Amino acid sequence: MDGDLVVSRLVTNAIAKGRHPRRRARLTRFAILIATFFAFLALWQGYVTYVYESPITLPTPASTWEAFLELIENGQLQEAIVESFTVLLVGGIPGVLIGVLGGLVIGATRPLDTAFTPYVFAFFATPFPALIPIFILLFGLGVVGKGMIVFTLVVTTVLLQTVAGVKSVDARFLEAARSFGSSAPRMLFEVQLPAALSFIVAGVRLSVGRALVGVVIAEFDTALSGLGALIFRYSGRLRLSEAFVPAVILAVTGIGASVVLRRLEGRFERWRQLG
């Protein structure tokens, strides 16, 4: 397997570079990670090729790779990616904006917080896949319907996090701003918003996960467009390798977004503290 070659090269590189003990430890970790990955792929491929017996052909790493190339070549994958991401952006961007604004206002106004946050939370607690048939009935099967699903998922998550962020702002910041005669709107945007940013980014991170699930499920329903539809149609024809490709793309999107936003979260976390 060329995978093993890559691993051994990585290991030799790691040993060659590893003069500093800490760097060497990190490289060893990385080598173990890569080795686990390829070991997993090899086990999977081996199990399906040599052990598993069934009328259904299971996807293997190799067949998924072939299916990936094939779907790229006939353009289905690119088309589906564009369709799904259009929905995510169309619903997600207004969702984040309105969620942050609404959360700032509600979080800074005690009576509004008491009056509305419990209901937003109740909505948030609803297992959202149950709502998707209703959204499709209300807003149709197109970009609007799916965009509304994404919008609703994002706006509730971001709003709740923003409210929590605004409420957790260090009271000393507020006192300092107030004693300099800051007006309430200025305080909201120049003190409470920056201090709540790490919470807001966490909200965006959580809502990306929910939105991806929402889009895929809605696309199962319509089976017309997007990555979810590809998964649904190819699974129905038992061409599981082709069905697996969009699922991997979605997973990579979710993981990538989560890693990037977590970094950002850590950076903004510093703004919450004094000194």
Q: For the window 192-221, what string marks contact with another protein as x by the rule CB under 8 A?
A: -----------------x--xx--xx--x-
Q: Report if residue 250 touches another protein, rule: CB under 8 A.
A: yes
Q: How far is the CB of 33 from another protein (least distance, A)?
A: 6
Let me know: does 250 contact 213? Beta carbons within 8 Å.
no
Q: How far is the CB of 188 from another protein (least distance, A)?
A: 21
Q: Report if residue 82 touches another protein, rule: CB under 8 A.
A: no
Q: Report if residue 46 touches another protein, rule: CB under 8 A.
A: no
Closest residue by Cα to residue 195 from 233, 224, 220, 164:
164
Q: How far is the CB of 146 from another protein (least distance, A)?
A: 14
Q: Report if residue 115 touches another protein, rule: CB under 8 A.
A: yes
Q: Of residues 85-114, which lie at the interface with another protein (CB under 8 A)?
A: 111, 114
Where along the sequence are the contacts to another protein (CB under 8 A)?
Answer: 29, 32-33, 35-37, 56, 58-59, 111, 114-116, 118-119, 122-123, 125-134, 137-139, 209, 212-213, 216-217, 220, 227-228, 231-232, 235-236, 238, 240, 243-244, 246-247, 250-252, 254-255, 257-259
